[in-house]
A = this chain, B = another copy of it.
Amino acid sequence: MRAAVMFGAGDVQVKEVPDARIDRPTDAVVRVTHAAICGSDLWRYGKMPPNPDGVRLGHEFIGVVEETGAEVTSVRRGDVVLAPFKWSDGRCEFCRDGLPNSCLNGGFWGGELDGGQGEAVRVPQADGTLLPLPMEPDDPRVPAVLALSDVLCTGHHAARAAQVGPGRTVAVVGDGAVGLCGVLAASRLGAERIIVLGRHTARTDLARRFGAVEVVPERGTEAVERVKELTGGHGAHAVLECVGTGAALRDALDMARPGGAVGYVGVPQDGDGVDARRFYRRNVTLAGGVAPARAYAPELLPDVLSGRLDASAIFDRTVGLDGVPDGYKAMAEREALKVLIRP
């Protein structure tokens, strides 16, 4: 079969790879119908050292179950399924606690496993990992559902961690796909007022469509001051950090109101530390991390299917498998916000 492989920074190629096949009785093989390129893939695209073996790519996909191992009971051949960005057994103590991303028997896609940016994927722990979908692969709502594999659950996690709710003013740091999903999630959770920090008009326009009422293009202390001005001098109740740099996290902490909370979901990139003196006096809570997508997806799916939670507009380009290298390039050059792949 064919799949996207990254051999180093800026070097993605579509290659012939071993066919996905059942290896353990808890596996399933899923034929991918829809996948995506993630902003987090771009970090690696920007700095991966050359590796002649290459690494497989893609952790967001929807597809059709082609085969199942002997112990798989919750999905069967022909089912349309969503895979979240980590696989998990659904049974360990962390899965039972609603934290499948910390599953004791789970992991990320890629590495020695298949990735979603390919024709098919061997899915470990299929019973715990795959979410059956009540739809056909050609349903027009599939892109909206695909967002649940990562970015929409991640935006929702930021909003939940930041304690978004009615009466709360929300600032979203970052206008990438996760930030935009954070706006959408905050809106769904009843935020009183949403401020988005970003400077790419196409993206901030989408943020407005998703529920933001103010756009702050500044960064750093200027952005913090602007958010304070917009919030009676005190800062936002809830701040969603959707970038992943130390600078963005510091801004997020600084613009939180005393007693407020920062939901951090941007994958930390630079090891740039945060000094607790920054938020100690203001009792700011810092919560978040890797989103428990497999736990959130079933909770959010009904609203996605009903159209109430529709992030599909983040996909502004669609490519076939051969178009994946160009898709990376377009996202890295900010010509595309998020690329949908139809292998």
Contacts and interface: CB of A to CB of B under 8 A. Distances in A.
B276 A275 contact: no
Nearest to A94: B258
A280 B249 CA distance: 12
A260 to B, nearest CB: 10
A236 B141 CA distance: 42
Interface string A275-294: 11101111111111110100
A271 B280 CA distance: 11
A305 B192 CA distance: 42
Contact of A283 (B101, B259, B267, B273): B101
Contact of A102 (B94, B259, B264, B289): B259
Interface residues of A, number: 35
Given A271-B277, A273-B273, A275-B271, A283 B102 contact: yes
A325 interface: no
A288 B280 CA distance: 7
Contacts of A276: 246, 249, 264, 268, 274
Given A273-B274, A285-B285, A285-B286, A280 B264 contact: yes
A97 interface: yes
A290 B259 CA distance: 10
Copies in the complex: 2
A299 interface: no
A99 interface: yes
A272 interface: yes
Contacts of A282: 102, 289
A289 to B, nearest CB: 4
Given A99-B259, A102-B258, A258-B99, A281 B289 contact: yes
Contacts of A268: 275-277, 280
Interface string A152-170: 0000000001000000000
Contact of A275 (B272, B281, B285): B272
Contact of A281 (B284, B286, B290): B290
Given A102-B258, A246-B276, A271-B275, 9 more contacts: A99-B258, A102-B283, A249-B276, A261-B287, A267-B280, A271-B277, A274-B274, A280-B288, A286-B287
22 contacts: A99-B283, A101-B283, A161-B285, A246-B275, A246-B276, A249-B276, A268-B277, A268-B280, A271-B275, A272-B273, A273-B274, A274-B274, A274-B275, A274-B276, A279-B289, A281-B289, A283-B287, A283-B288, A283-B289, A283-B292, A285-B286, A285-B287
Closest 3 CB pairs of A and B: A273-B273, A283-B289, A102-B258
